[in-house]
């Protein structure tokens, strides 16, 4: 059964709706049945009519992070080799293609246009994550057990969970909010209510009170160690619904530049006068500073990953992305 998860909040429409588009990935070319595209062309994002899905492909290790496009249907094979299958065995509405998101790169979905908003999308578990939680896999624990994958009591009392937080931003990043979705929940007093999501679910983003231009994902699990969560941090996504909105003021201004990118110790920002904000891939504010034509941002203590620098001044709001190595 398909479920719809809606945000409870005031909803204000900015402008008039003129067109709706559903990105269902069906027209993305794949080599055949049971195949995938994990971005090994190195472009950095899949582009569907201007809405982009970020990815990163490591040629040396032949692995991806962020998004991949897939039509794999294997619902029985456990482990990493089956990382491209959605557990329902197909895309949403029994379609062929869907997207897989893996939370290593912390990439997201971006409309790249103030006049286009994301209204909703569908998600579910991957086979890799589902079977890991249901059965355990030698690294991740079996959900509901009082023991970790090494056979030691882990302190959860079997009250396990796996959750994705969906962070939403408007175009100029002045509005940021989030909603949580539980991909598995074993914390009920009545154990018969424990579940692992095995079907497609609709996430409705229209209740945030602002037009959503960017969404990013972060995972949490009860199964953790000092390196992070042990549950495979994957989800499958389909039917991303966007709306074109008229009457929205697009902020056009002179560009600013930054370098180097990727950066190790510092990022230099040139152009404009105003305020600089730095946010991580989840939309969390890292720093704010005054800017007058030239600024240098110390990123030496930042964790590796994707960050966003926003310059706000009398000319408007501009945001650029950089990678901290």
Query: Tens-digit pLDDT profile for the chain (325 aa)?
Result: 344 444 433 333 333 445 789 999 999 999 999 999 998 888 889 999 999 999 988 877 778 899 999 999 999 999 999 999 999 999 999 999 999 999 865 679 999 998 899 999 999 999 999 999 999 999 999 999 999 999 999 999 999 999 999 999 999 888 999 999 999 999 999 999 999 999 999 999 988 889 999 999 999 999 999 889 999 999 999 999 999 875 433 333 345 788 888 889 999 988 878 889 888 866 678 898 998 888 999 999 998 887 888 888 776 677 777 888 8
| Separation between Cα atoms, residue 295 and residue 44, nearest integer Å | 27
> What is the three-class DSSP state of 241?
strand
Q: Which of 111, 95, 117 is nearest to 27 (CA)?
A: 95
Buried b (16+ CB within 10 A) or exposed e, 89-101: ebbbeeeebbbbb
Q: Cα(199)–Cα(184) distance, rounded to whole angstroms? A: 12
From 162, 156, 320, select the one nearest 230 (Cα to Cα): 162
Global pTM exceeds 0.85: no
Bridge partners of residue 68, in order along the sequence? 100
Q: What is the per-residue pLDDT for 246?
A: 57
3-246 and 257-324: same fold? no
CATH 2.60.40.1220 fits domain 257-324: yes
| pLDDT value of position 250 | 39
DSSP annotation of 126 reads: B
pLDDT of res. 308: 81
Provide the H-helix boundaries in the chain. 127-135
Give the domain 3-246 fold.
Answer: Jelly Rolls (2.60.120)
CA dihedral 266, 270, 275, 280 (to 10 degrees): -40
Please give the pLDDT value at position 105: 59
User: HSE on the CB side for 318, CA within 13 Å?
Assistant: 19
Instruction: Return d(Cα 219, Cα 164) in angstroms, integer.
Output: 4
**How far is Cα 70 from Cα 88, in angstroms, rounded to an integer?**
13
Q: Where are the domains of the chain?
A: 3-246, 257-324
Indicate the SS3 state at residue 71. Answer: coil
């Amino acid at each position: 059964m398909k479920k719809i998860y809606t945000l409870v909040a005031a909803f204000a429409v900015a402008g008039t709706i003129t067109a709706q588009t559903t990105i269902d990935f069906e027209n993305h070319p794949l080599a055949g049945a049971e195949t995938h595209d994990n971005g090994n062309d190195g472009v950095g994002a899949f582009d569907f009519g201007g809405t982009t899905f970020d990815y990163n492909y490591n040629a040396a290790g032949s692995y991806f992070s962020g998004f991949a496009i897939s039509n794999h249907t294997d619902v029985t094979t456990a482990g990493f080799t089956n990382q491209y299958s959605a557990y329902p065995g197909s895309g949403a509405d029994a379609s062929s293609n869907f997207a897989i998101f893996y939370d290593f790169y912390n990439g997201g979905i971006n409309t790249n246009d103030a006049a286009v908003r994301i209204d909703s999308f569908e998600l579910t578990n991957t086979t890799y994550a589902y079977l890991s939680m249901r059965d355990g896999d030698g690294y991740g624990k079996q959900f509901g057990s009082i023991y970790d994958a090494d056979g030691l009591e882990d302190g959860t009392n079997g009250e396990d969970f796996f959750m994705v937080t969906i962070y939403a931003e408007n175009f100029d990043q002045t509005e940021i909010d989030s909603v949580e979705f539980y991909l598995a929940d074993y914390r009920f007093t009545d154990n018969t209510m424990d579940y692992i999501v095995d079907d497609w679910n609709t996430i409705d983003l229209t209740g945030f009170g602002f037009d959503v231009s960017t969404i990013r994902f972060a995972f949490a699990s009860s199964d953790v160690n000092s390196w992070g969560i042990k549950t495979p941090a994957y989800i499958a996504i389909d039917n991303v619904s966007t709306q074109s909105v008229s009457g929205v003021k697009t902020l056009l201004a002179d560009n600013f530049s930054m370098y180097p990118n990727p950066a190790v110790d510092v990022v230099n920002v040139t152009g404009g006068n105003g305020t600089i904000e730095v946010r991580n891939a989840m939309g969390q504010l890292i720093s704010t500073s005054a800017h007058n034509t030239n600024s240098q941002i110390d990123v030496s203590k930042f964790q590796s990953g994707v960050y966003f620098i926003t310059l706000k001044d009398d000319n408007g709001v501009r945001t650029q992305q950089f990678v901290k190595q």
